[in-house]
Amino acid sequence: MSIRPDADEHVTVRGSMISTLRLSPSCLHVSVVQEWGLPNYHGVLAVDGATLHVVFDRQNQDLVRVWAETDAAAPQRACLVS
């Protein structure tokens, strides 16, 4: 995972910092797909209130390129126990 000083351009998804910049995606090991689930046909996956765009690297099969879009308009879900 690459480390960058500008945390504004990243989102934390299940313990991994994911870039929100489409032109500068995060480069992660392919095993994160096992934890998050497989993306759809278009490479889109919704995890933890963020929409992730996943592209498998053609040169190295062990890597995926991921960038995120936050779902600010998504309703917050809460569980009320009485």
| Residue stretches of the chain with pLDDT short of 70 | 1-8, 71-82
In order, the DSSP letters of 35-68 are HH----TTSEEEETTEEEEEEE-SS-TTEEEEEE
According to DSSP, residue 2 is labeled -
Residue for token pair 């936050």: 70
Question: How confident is the model over 9-23, as pLDDT tens digits?
Answer: 888 888 888 888 888
Cα–Cα distance for residue pair 16/29, rounded to 1 Å: 11
Q: What is the pLDDT of residue 33?
A: 87
Q: What is the pLDDT of residue 70?
A: 79
Whether residue 62 contacts residue 29, with contact meaning beta carbons closer than 8 Å, is answered with yes
Cα–Cα distance for residue pair 76/73, rounded to 1 Å: 9
